[in-house]
Chains A and B, each alone.
Chain A
């Protein structure tokens, strides 16, 4: 579980503000020259399951928070439970097969966030490990047929 406290969060909030401004600036460059490389170097991450993310990687890098936050409101208030941007789904794919978690020093979400000085509280409530295999679509026959094609 992420341990977050008030002061850390306020600090990270400020850092995020700065990060947003920086990302906004880099986004302009990215769109401008068509390269997927942002100026901010990111730590390397590895995902075991699935070949592709739910959107092209460079889009995910910049916009994954928008996707999940939007999905969050759709699911909570309208009961829309599509898989594509579901947080459960991110975790199912991105959890480290060894630790069964997206957190931890080398965890997919946490390693990058730690690097970018972002602190999220999501995993104080949401589980950081994948659902049991039968529940998780990815990896099952159905999952590999349908879920790997869900990019639009």
Chain B
């Protein structure tokens, strides 16, 4: 194995600036949407007093969850000592930071009073999991920042393992915290499940790695840096395992819910589309299960596709899209189903009691959500231009610890 060098990308091409310009346009549109929403009030969104969290939260929670998952690659190297992942660590920590930034930006810009951000940072209710999350998110920036420093500064390298361990524990806590945001909502049947928190952790593994793989493949292809099969196949196989695990947890979640008669209503709503839940059952079956899990699994593991960079990329992209669908089902679907105030009774009122709530996303909401992704990507692109995050080469002879000439591809497959 050769020594790994890291260099900045040149970032002077027309293409690079166009990329930043396009992302910048999305960010500008998101900021404009947020201003529009604050100026007119949330009346201009699809959100209501029934569906209080909508599309912005779908994107925000997705990005926050993915952020902690993106750190996995670095953790595998420094915590579990896998050599192949070591040259991948810097980008992993960077993505963790930028994805979190994107997610939090959406959350803040969606607040009813974004101008009171200072209040959110000075008044804490320590009973609130939300307040704890704010501390966890801030701590995540500090710890991952320090971790990055130990990776990038030669003299600090000896602390990398310790920092990596701290970051790893912190990120598990952070994702548990994010999952608990929903787990704590005892009143809503869809969220009243202990399995929510571990499910979020495994979701973070999957979404984070999918984004990591996409960014890695895109960056190396565009900058024409060598990226060997060893790295790509290893990451893709790992992603496959995560996707399958999310599928397993989803199954367990719905099965345990079906076990409780009280939850049959909400299950029928999401799984079968009963009582006007068609949109959610479509997002669930077509988006999350078929497009987001089964097709990617097939693409990753079927030999015809599994060796093609193109299909691996498509698979990872589908995981991302499936993840967004899953968030939509959890967040919006969970609210649309009426809360049971009088069990066994038929209720009606001027406030939609006993009725499934309607929701249709408005353009500003979608733009705000997309701008979060744009923020994350633009920050990443900018960072790899100004600091050496990317290894100059990830060709097999550089990256693969088991590399033997002539034997690269098979060796990588076998060890994956």
**Which A residues have a C-beta under 8 Å from some C-beta of B?**
4-6, 9-10, 121
Bound CA span A121–B115, Å = 11
In the complex, the 9 A-B pairs of residues with the closest C-beta atoms, listed nearest first: A9-B115, A6-B115, A6-B114, A6-B38, A5-B39, A6-B35, A5-B38, A5-B35, A10-B115
Bound CA span A74–B35, Å = 33
Which residue on chain A has the smallest CB distance to residue B113? A121
For B35, the chain A residues whose CB sits under 8 A away are 5-6
Most B Cβ at <10 Å: residue of A6, A9, A10, A121: A6
Bound CA span A6–B113, Å = 9
For B115, the chain A residues whose CB sits under 8 A away are 4, 6, 9-10, 121
Bound CA span A6–B38, Å = 8
Besides A5-B35, A6-B114, A9-B115, 8 other A-B contacts (C-beta < 8 A): A4-B115, A5-B38, A5-B39, A6-B35, A6-B38, A6-B115, A10-B115, A121-B115
For B38, the chain A residues whose CB sits under 8 A away are 5-6
- Closest beta carbon of chain B to A125's beta carbon, Å: 11
**Which B residues have a C-beta under 8 Å from some C-beta of A?**
35, 38-39, 114-115
Which residue on chain A has the smallest CB distance to residue B31? A6
For A121, the chain B residues whose CB sits under 8 A away are 115
- Closest beta carbon of chain A to B133's beta carbon, Å: 23
Bound CA span A5–B39, Å = 7
- Closest beta carbon of chain B to A113's beta carbon, Å: 17
- Closest beta carbon of chain A to B110's beta carbon, Å: 13
- Closest beta carbon of chain A to B125's beta carbon, Å: 13
Which residue on chain B has the smallest CB distance to residue A3? B39
Bound CA span A9–B38, Å = 13
Which residue on chain B has the smallest CB distance to residue A4? B115
For B39, the chain A residues whose CB sits under 8 A away are 5
- Closest beta carbon of chain A to B72's beta carbon, Å: 36
Bound CA span A121–B119, Å = 14
- Closest beta carbon of chain A to B128's beta carbon, Å: 17
- Closest beta carbon of chain B to A117's beta carbon, Å: 16
For A6, the chain B residues whose CB sits under 8 A away are 35, 38, 114-115
- Closest beta carbon of chain A to B119's beta carbon, Å: 12
- Closest beta carbon of chain A to B114's beta carbon, Å: 6
- Closest beta carbon of chain B to A77's beta carbon, Å: 12
- Closest beta carbon of chain A to B168's beta carbon, Å: 37
Which residue on chain A has the smallest CB distance to residue B39? A5
Bound CA span A10–B115, Å = 8
A-B contact pairs, 11 of them (CB 8 A): A4-B115, A5-B35, A5-B38, A5-B39, A6-B35, A6-B38, A6-B114, A6-B115, A9-B115, A10-B115, A121-B115
Which residue on chain B has the smallest CB distance to residue A7? B35
- Closest beta carbon of chain A to B73's beta carbon, Å: 37
Bound CA span A4–B115, Å = 10
Which residue on chain B has the smallest CB distance to residue A13? B118
Which residue on chain B has the smallest CB distance to residue A5? B39
For B114, the chain A residues whose CB sits under 8 A away are 6
Bound CA span A5–B32, Å = 13
For A4, the chain B residues whose CB sits under 8 A away are 115
Most A Cβ at <10 Å: residue of B38, B39, B115: B115
Bound CA span A10–B116, Å = 10
Which residue on chain A has the smallest CB distance to residue B38? A6
- Closest beta carbon of chain A to B122's beta carbon, Å: 13
Bound CA span A85–B162, Å = 55
- Closest beta carbon of chain A to B380's beta carbon, Å: 26
- Closest beta carbon of chain A to B53's beta carbon, Å: 21
